[in-house]
Structures are given as structure tokens and as C-alpha cells.
Structure 1
Amino acid sequence: MAIQPQTAVLIGILLLALVTVESGGYFMTRVVRRKVPANALQVSFFRAGHAHAGVLLVLSVAILSVIDFAQLEGFWSFAARTLVPIAAILMPAGFFLSVLGRDPEKPNRLILLLWVGAASLTAGLIVAGVGLLTAGLAS
């Protein structure tokens, strides 16, 4: 089975998005060398945001590389293809945006993005996993 055109486009977008994670690595080197002012909470959240961005983008590419085999349709196809990439945006955004400002003591309300992203990740993994299992067992 050949890769679907929409799958190839989304993988291309995700690979280009990894360049932003790469440049975020430069920001992280500045944070840990104290070239950018950040308290301990910010440093830990920036690290977590950076790590989640990279891992979730790569996970998204891995899922998209095989999801066409599941032959999902409609909503289920959309969910399997997009929920993990959505999590790759929301979770890091929650980490970064919730600790912006001068010396925050705790995350702000934007931490909600982290939890919405976690729900998106969980749903995407379940739909893609069940879809692939079903397709594999049916063949």
C-alpha cells in the first residue's frame, strides 16, 4: 500500500516543524547557561516543553508512516492522523506559556493546554493503536 498524499503532506509539515524544535534547543542552551533569565520553575518547564515537542513530533511521524495500513475512514481516520500532532502543539505550549513572565511562582491557567494535549495524545494513540490492531488481525 502506497502512502496517501495527505499523509505525505502532514509528515512533511511535521518534519519542518522539527526545525523549530532544533532552534528551541539553542534557546535551551541559553537558558541553562543563564544567558536568559529564568527561575527554577521556568527552567524545568522549558526543558519539559522542549522534550515533549521533539518526542511527540517524531511519534507523530512514526504513526503517520503506518496509519494508512489501518484503512480507517471518516472521523476515525481524522482522529488517528491528527490527535497526536495536535498534542505535539498543545503540550509544549502548555509548558512554555504557563510559566511566562518575570519569576512566576506557579504555572498560570495556560497549563490547561498541557492537559488538553494529554487527552488528545491518549485518544490519538488509542484510535491509531486499535485501528492498526484491527487491520493486522483482519489480514
Structure 2
Amino acid sequence: MLDNVHQIIAGVVLLSVVGIAYGGTFLLKVTRGSVPANELQQRFFRAGHAHAGVLVILGLLVLQLTQLNDVAPLWQALSLGVLAAAILMPGGFFLSVAGRDPQRPNRFIALLWTGAGLLVTGLAAAGTGLIAAGTG
């Protein structure tokens, strides 16, 4: 069972899926031509939407695995980087191509790389913590 803090985190994450679903309707509008977007924007919007959905699911799985297997608190805290990546990486994809007909990503692309770093950190922490809990 999740502790109270992790229950709240999981609840907020599940509610964020409403935003991801809305992103799907936006993506449909882009695909149908109702929302103007150049090729770069279309690719980044698709990537942002896909990363959001996958990383939310992965983040919830990591949250469960670390809580249910008595992973040390430090590893659990660091593993929340996966859920942070679920916000930052899609944000980087969407915000870096905002505007009318951008030809390349803007400085918000840094969110993507920050999220990627947190994703790797979170997964490494979860994996290390699970191995340590299993061998301890």
C-alpha cells in the first residue's frame, strides 16, 4: 500500500491524464488541419503527447514498485524523477516549437534535456533501490 504522500502524488498524476487526453484532441485537430502547424511542430507535438502518456504510466509503475518493495527512502525520492520527466519532457516538446511557423526549437528545448536527465536518474535510482532491497 502506498503511504499518504505517494497516494496524493498518484492521484495528482492520474488527474493529469485528463490533460493528456485533451492533448490528444489537440493533436487530432493538428492532424486534420484545423490547427495550423508546420512539419516541425507536428512531429514535436506527436512526440510530446506520446512521451506524456508513456512516462505517466512508467512513473506510476516505478512509484508502486519502490513503495511496495521497501526501497530505501533516498532511492524512492530520487525515483520520482520519472514523474518529473513526465512533465518536463512533453513540456519541452510542446513549448520549444510554440509560435507561428518556427524553423527550429527555441530555448524551451532545455526542458526536454532536463527531463531526460531526471528520467535516467529516476530509473537508475529505482533499479538500484530495488536491487538493494532484494539483496538486503
The answer, yes or no, to whether TM exceeds 0.5 is yes
Is 1:134 the equivalent of 2:102? no
Is 1:108 the equivalent of 2:124? no
Q: Indicate conservation of the 8 Å contact 1:50/1:92, yes or no.
A: yes
**Displacement of 1:28:** 0.4
Who is 2:58 aligned against?
A: 59
Q: What fraction of aligned residue pairs are identical, expressed as a percent?
A: 48
Q: Within 2, Cα distance between the matches of 1:113 and 1:102?
A: 20
Aligned length: 135
Amino acid at match of 1:17: S
Q: Within 2, Cα distance between the matches of 1:62 and 1:77?
A: 12
**Displacement of 1:78:** 1.5
**Displacement of 1:9:** 1.1
TM-score by length of 1: 0.93
Q: Indicate conservation of the 8 Å contact 2:75/2:128, yes or no.
A: no
Q: Within 1, Cα distance between the matches of 2:40 and 2:17?
A: 25
Amino acid at match of 1:109: R
Amino acid at match of 1:33: R
TM-score by length of 2: 0.95
Who is 1:72 aligned against?
A: 72
Who is 2:36 aligned against?
A: 37
Three-state SS of the structure 2 residue aligned to 1:109 is: coil
Q: Within 2, Cα distance between the matches of 1:27 and 1:70?
A: 40
Q: Within 1, Cα distance between the matches of 2:102 and 2:72?
A: 45
Q: Within 1, Cα distance between the matches of 2:110 and 2:66?
A: 29
Q: Within 1, Cα distance between the matches of 2:65 and 2:4?
A: 13
Q: Which runs of 5+ in 1 are unaligned?
A: none
**Displacement of 1:134:** 1.2
Q: Within 2, Cα distance between the matches of 1:12 and 1:129?
A: 23
Q: Which runs of 5+ in 2 are unaligned?
A: none
Q: Which residue, 87, 90, 107 being the options, matches 1:89?
A: 87
Q: Indicate conservation of the 8 Å contact 1:86/1:120, yes or no.
A: yes
Q: Within 2, Cα distance between the matches of 1:49 and 1:91?
A: 7
Q: Indicate conservation of the 8 Å contact 2:48/2:89, yes or no.
A: yes
Q: Indicate conservation of the 8 Å contact 1:91/1:117, yes or no.
A: yes
Q: Within 1, Cα distance between the matches of 2:127 and 2:75?
A: 11
